[in-house]
Amino acid sequence: MKLTDLQQVAATAASIWKNSVIGGGAVRDAFLGGPIKDIDLFVDTRDLSNPLGFSWDEQVDILAKTLGGAVSLHAFGTASIPGEQQNNTYHVHWSGPVVEVLPVSRDVIADADDYDFGISQVQMTKDGIRRLPGFDKDLRDNTITYLGDETWAEAGRARSALRLKRILAKYPDRTPVNCEVLL
């Protein structure tokens, strides 16, 4: 899968949700020429308004049909904040890697600033690739830089440690930087 293919998926999603972006791994791997496991499509669900009044579930179904695929429920929605909208997470199965449609209640563009590794600080929008300085630095230096520190919650560090193993398995020639707290 190429970056242009990801941009087409992002544009299709943007025709349904104005605040959506493909983040992290798929964009990184398409850029570096590595295998893509799945596509994480983040959708800011704070404003799901649409002129025809479709529900979240119906909107995901529209995405799947537009991509020529089908939907499967991945996880039931849970609200992390009392009163927050509970939206299900779905997988869209189509001719490309599975698209995991991830409902979040935050700015999906600014979210990349908080990604745990510089090499993952890259997104695809309908307008094209968005590269953050951490991504460009890791790209230039042939590194995988952990951007968190020992103050990050234990669960977050555990997820980052697993992610580091997956990234190193794909790109063993890259040097881990600031990863001591994960090893």
CB-CB contact of 17 with 41 (8 Å): no
Whether residue 62 is predicted with pLDDT greater than 60 in this model: the reply is yes
Q: Sheet containing 122-125: give its strands across.
A: 70-75, 89-93, 99-104, 39-44, 20-23, 122-125, 128-131
Q: Does the structure show a pLDDT above 90 at 33?
A: yes
What angle do helix axes 25-32 and 3-14 make, rounded to 10 degrees? Answer: 150
CATH number for the domain formed by residue range(s) 3-133: 3.30.460.10
pLDDT band at 87 (very low <50, low <70, confident <90, very high): confident
pTM: 0.89
Q: Would you kindly state where each structural domain of the chain is located, as residue ranges?
A: 3-133
Residue length, the chain? 183
Residue type, 37: K
Cα–Cα distance, 142 to 116 (Å, whole number): 17
* Beta pairing partners, 36: none
At residue 42, does pLDDT exceed 90? yes
Asked if residues 43 and 90 have their Cβ atoms less than 8 Å apart, the reply is no
pLDDT of residue 99: 97
- Report the distance separating Cα 70 and Cα 68, nearest Å: 7
Among the listed ranges 4-8, 29-33, 76-80, which one has the minimum average pLDDT value? Answer: 76-80
CB atoms near residue 85 (< 10 Å)? 13
- The mean pLDDT of 69-76, rounded to a whole number, is 82
Q: Cα 138–144–171 angle (5° rounding)?
A: 105
Sequence-ordered list of residues with C-beta below 8 angstroms from that of 160, at least 6 positions apart, any chain: 116, 117, 146, 148, 152, 182
pLDDT of residue 82 exceeding 50: no
- The residue that leads in pLDDT, 160 or 73, is 160
DSSP state of 93: E
**134 closest CA partner among 124, 122, 150, 123:** 122
